[in-house]
Structure 1
């Protein structure tokens, strides 16, 4: 399913239990990992920029809060800022928006996934982790329609299984993996 494919980017959507889940994935990405990683973690509108600071101390890759019109660079982890949707433009730059909430969230996973699917097509890897609503399911359908790879955390390994379950109800996935196997799987996608 993923043999010989040329991947260009990874998008990750996560909500309740996300900090602990990301701690088991992002630090496993090896130095020199060639793909950008764009993340929507549901956070409060007035949250600070703690996530990029926290993970920059734990990851070998550079970690940033996404900025509007920023070019997407290989081997960089980007977090959606509080109270902004994170989107990918066709020129592979980031865009931020204060449009209405989607699935009661801003940032919303579906917004990132749908725009990234349109920008990267079959070169996109979508990952849905723990979360307590259905955000991400519609976006994963779009990634599937554009030929991307779908990876979902097993509901039984998720602190909140609703987001993984919603994806499984909406579309077929390529990999259904326990949390502790996802980081190594992502590393394997970049190995020739």
Structure 2
């Protein structure tokens, strides 16, 4: 797909709410960038992350429960018990499979890389495990950028460390500094 705007996929898990809030407190761009937040959620507990993030930004924050066209200037937040993928500029919703390990970030990042190529940006924030690594490798392969929360600032270091140790992220910084980089990159 040939897109005229950037799409920033943000993956987070344990400790990620604090990192997400700090990140969006410092985001100043919006016209030519869409944000999609993918987190590890409990299957049976309704997430209110969209409401929490709306307190940290002036951009519209939309809870994704059904297929929706991605439009710059919005923040899309994945709901519980689903996975999401990008397909020709649409966020496609699928019911989460029954396996215990959550790979929602890898699923989304891989589709983001394939759909938006050099206009794809992946951000890995606080979280345990290695979800996001496979998707980040695909993003690099397709010409996108991967940036990572500094493991020293992350409440849970697993996900950021997996990218730092196994991939070559473009940037490793605290969430506010990652936001500053997005402000510069996406204002072009």
Aligned residues: 185
SS in 2 for 1:58: coil
Name structure 2 gaps, 5 residues minimum.
Answer: none
Q: 2:101 aligns with which of 88, 101, 104?
A: 104
Structure with bigger strand share is 2
Greater shift in the superposed pair: 177-186 or 72-81: 177-186
What is the match of residue 93 of structure 1? 90
For 1:118 and 1:73, the matched residues in 2 are separated by 17
Q: 1:78 aligns with which of 43, 61, 76?
A: 76
TM-score normalized by structure 1?
A: 0.90
- Superposition deviation, residue 27 in structure 1: 2.5
Greater shift in the superposed pair: 97-106 or 165-174: 97-106
> How has the CA–CA distance of structure 1 residues 103 and 139 changed in structure 2, closer, same or farther, with 3 Å as cutoff?
farther
Q: Say if 1:31 and 1:61, in contact at 8 Å, map to a contact too.
A: no
Aligned pairs for 1:163-178 (under 5 A) are 163-178=159-174
> How has the CA–CA distance of structure 1 residues 117 and 182 changed in structure 2, closer, same or farther, with 3 Å as cutoff?
same
Tell me if 1:22 matches 2:20: yes
- Superposition deviation, residue 173 in structure 1: 1.1
- Superposition deviation, residue 20 in structure 1: 0.6
What is the match of residue 157 of structure 2? 161
Greater shift in the superposed pair: 8-17 or 33-42: 33-42
- Superposition deviation, residue 68 in structure 1: 2.7
What is the match of residue 123 of structure 2? 127
What is the match of residue 64 of structure 1? 62
- Superposition deviation, residue 178 in structure 1: 2.1
